[in-house]
Chain A
Amino acid sequence: MRKYAKRGLLAGAVFSALWLSACGNDGNNASGNDGAKPGESSSSPTGQAEQTQTEPAKGTEQSAEKVKLKLITISSDESRQAIMNDYIKPNLAKDLPNIEVEFEETADVAAKMKIYNASGDLPDVFWSGSDYAPAIINANNQLDLKPYITKDGYIDNFNVKEALEYRGGIYALTSGADTYFNPRIFYHKDIFAKNNIAVPTTFDELVDACKKLAAAGIQPISTPGKGGWSPAFFLIQSMIQVEDPAVMQDLVANKTDFANPVVKNALDRVATLAKAGAFGKGAANLDYGPAKELFTQNKAAMYMMMSWELPDLEKNVPDLDYFLWPKASDKFDPAGVVQYWGTPLAGYAVSAKSEHLEEAVKLAEFLNKQDALYFNSTGAKVNFKVPESAPAAPLQQKNLDDYNKTALKIPTLFFNMDPKTAAEYNNAGSLLMTGDYSADEFIQDFNETWHSNTFFN
């Protein structure tokens, strides 16, 4: 019996040792590609040349096999979903036959990237956002694509190459459609006509129009407030611009803060609209999709949104038009000032730790081209040379003309915030949408965070 017990103990010890050794495996041998060591495929242009010299036979073998890459991309709106379903997936096998892609689509790439980063397993290609990209770049995990796209000539596809640059490098490939996106107030012409409402040209007229519509049982404005989406991305900025664009320029350049009286007035204007019920009930918890549906289903008269929704709206809302932001002082010329969205960090990026850098860069280039083709097909202008521009629909052309006519184009404030500041800005913005939160509370809660914003460091 004692002998059996000893054998049992020995078997237990062996099992534990095997189990521990399995836990200690770092996963390099189980990557599922071809059993190659990191760098054998292509760690860098130089690295690959060296590897080809030392192991030419293996390199040839690998080129015949499909390279597996992991891609995390954004699926936040219908445009992004259309790009994925109508362009990327159908064209991938044709354009990149040697690459097999494991897709992961999410509306919150930033959170996913942090999780992947923490696990030490970054995807080969990912959607880069201006809020989280600097941290990845600073950690040397986001590849500077400049040498790669210069070497293969892809950079020549861009009309304005400088628009891609961030701190002298290129960290994301963007079609450039973002630069032409701007916030607009879309409206139903027939709802306005039926209720004898003229297009507001001043903020007070906008408030009056909202009151009239609310009295008629129609929700005046629809815009996503959940997580402070609209206030953070454009509403507060627009409300500052309508009084004094110079203050907005100062804020974007970190030359003033949220205690500035013009900024305070702007916050008051958002709170005033919320208190007047302009955004409808529960606006602070209204998601992106439902906010759009309220407008497209004629339940809301106006829709405050970025112009990337214009192609879809123009196709589906027959009585659609938009008006320029109504002014709150004579310092603002509605036709002369516009907020633009673009940032060189919003686009397809490559992990510097990818085991297949060259293939990952090719995939990023392919993805960016699909973006450009999609936006081109909608009539949007892009910074990427595409075969032939589709003619823009009338309202899109009007938007483009209005955009081109504006003398002063102000970048989006939100992109000049580090993640902590951006998150707090979102919070305070969503509270403003409740109508139960004052401009003073906003300033008290947020101004200190703004002062500790590390974006400008």
Chain B
Amino acid sequence: MVRFFSTKISIAVFAFPALIAFTVFVIYPLIPEVVISFQKHNGFRSDGFVGLANYYEVLSSKSFGKSGLNTLIVVLMSTVLALPLSLALALLLGSQGQGTRRLFKAFGMFPAILSVTVIAQMWLAIYEPEWGLLNSVFKAIGLEDWGREWLTDRGTVIYSIAVAFLWQYIGLNTLLFYTGLKSIPQTYYEAALIDGAGPVKSAIRITIPLMQDVIKFVLVISILGSMGMFAHVEVMTRGGPGYWSRTIVYELYYRAFMSSDFGAGSAVAVLFVIGCLVVTLLLNRFVARERLEF
């Protein structure tokens, strides 16, 4: 029986439905996307093949460069700021009492399950330049000069949206880290304590290495999630003013659905898929390590 199920034929048969589903829902939609990226297409009909013209137009446009830069900023903020913050919160949570942990589990998840529209509207109110919470707080503590038109200033708009985006998922990431933390046997910490290791040393030498699978998982979903940021941009600024707050996915939407240029939109989509593949490969190359058994 075991021998039969390990034959190539049986593996192929059992993998067949999943393979079909993957082909239908993932591979198949990519094919027309690639074809359209070489066409002049207005969303309603194709006016023929134009070679690499769409790619040239997209790659030479100011808006694509800006959206690429904005996406990079969001990814960097997610990995350099939000991820360590989530990990630190998880470590802090681990040292708290049962009541605090329960409270955080309840409220930490709350933003993640709320609709993006609700979150975006809340942050719109926070950033409102006349009566918004942020500028009002600055005013109240005598730092009125720090106040900005957060969502219309070219220097702050993408950072402001990114904060709203990352805030929504920080609680979720913290809980994922916390779950990983709980899977580490307590005896390791007891042994470290006997050897004279403090909380920081324990975190660096025990917690982080033993949580590498969770860290990798959170890193992958954070990077890919940040690369795909769209809804927050749509609700908060519609990519504006102008193209100042567009991300790559918003650029795709703008070109296909607002400009009715499905050819260029598909070119952005193809470039985005290639970008995602490269990032995934890099993550697998540099983050993947042999699994530690404990």
Q: Which residues of A contact B (CB under 8 A)?
A: 1-2, 5, 9, 12-13, 15-16, 19-20, 23, 110-111, 114-115, 117-118, 132, 135-136, 138-139, 141, 225-228, 280-285, 418-420, 423-424, 427-428, 430-431, 433-434, 436-437, 445
Contact A430 B241 (CB under 8 A): yes
Q: Max chain B CB contacts within 10 Å: which of A13, A136, A139, A434?
A: A434
What does the 1/0 interface line of B60-83 toward A look like (CB < 8 Å)?
001000000000000000000000
Contact B16 A12 (CB under 8 A): yes
In residues 196-243 of chain B, which contact A (Cβ within 8 Å)?
Answer: 236-238, 240-243
Contact A431 B241 (CB under 8 A): yes
Decide if B259 is an interface residue (CB 8 Å cutoff): yes
Q: Which residues of A contact B24 (CB under 8 A)?
A: 23
Choose, from B42-50, B87-95, B183-191, the stretch at the interface.
B42-50
Contact A139 B242 (CB under 8 A): no
**Interface residues of B, dominant DSSP:** loop
Contact A281 B13 (CB under 8 A): no
Contact A436 B154 (CB under 8 A): yes
Contact A284 B44 (CB under 8 A): no
Contact B20 A16 (CB under 8 A): yes
B34 CB to closest chain A CB (Å) equals 15
Which B-chain residue is minimally distant from A431 (CB atoms)?
B242
CA distance A55 to B130 in the complex (A): 68
What does the 1/0 interface line of B172-183 toward A look like (CB < 8 Å)?
000000000000
Contact of B20 among A5, A19, A225, A228 (CB under 8 A): A19
Contact B129 A281 (CB under 8 A): yes
Contact A5 B44 (CB under 8 A): no
In residues 125-169 of chain B, which contact A (Cβ within 8 Å)?
Answer: 128-130, 149, 151-154
Q: Which residues of A contact B242 (CB under 8 A)?
A: 228, 427-428, 430-431, 437
* B interface residues, how many (CB within 8 angstroms): 38
Q: Which residues of A contact B153 (CB under 8 A)?
A: 434, 436
Q: Which residues of B contact A (CB under 8 A)?
A: 1, 4-5, 10, 13-14, 16-17, 20, 24, 42-45, 62, 128-130, 149, 151-154, 236-238, 240-244, 254, 256-261
CA distance A283 to B130 in the complex (A): 11
Q: Which residues of A contact B236 (CB under 8 A)?
A: 285
Supply 17 further A-B pairs (C-beta < 8 A) apart from A5-B10, A135-B44. A1-B4, A13-B13, A20-B20, A23-B24, A114-B257, A115-B257, A226-B237, A226-B240, A284-B241, A285-B240, A419-B258, A419-B261, A423-B254, A431-B242, A433-B152, A434-B153, A434-B154
Contact B43 A117 (CB under 8 A): yes
Contact B260 A419 (CB under 8 A): yes
Q: Which residues of B contact A283 (CB under 8 A)?
A: 152
Contact of A5 among B4, B154, B244, B257 (CB under 8 A): B4
CA distance A15 to B17 in the complex (A): 9
Q: Which residues of B contact A111 (CB under 8 A)?
A: 257-258
A109 CB to closest chain B CB (Å) equals 12
CA distance A115 to B253 in the complex (A): 11
Contact of B258 among A20, A423, A434 (CB under 8 A): A423
CA distance A1 to B5 in the complex (A): 11
Q: Which residues of A contact B152 (CB under 8 A)?
A: 282-285, 433-434
**The 7 nearest A-B residue pairs measured at CB:** A419-B260, A281-B129, A431-B242, A139-B44, A284-B241, A114-B43, A420-B259
Contact of B149 among A139, A227, A281, A418 (CB under 8 A): A281
Contact A433 B260 (CB under 8 A): no
Q: Which residues of A contact B1 (CB under 8 A)?
A: 1, 5
Contact B43 A16 (CB under 8 A): no
CA distance A436 to B237 in the complex (A): 17
Which A-chain residue is minimally distant from B242 (CB atoms)?
A431
**What are 12 A-B residue pairs whose CB atoms fall within 8 Å in the complex?**
A5-B1, A9-B13, A110-B257, A141-B44, A228-B242, A281-B130, A285-B241, A420-B260, A430-B241, A431-B241, A434-B154, A434-B241
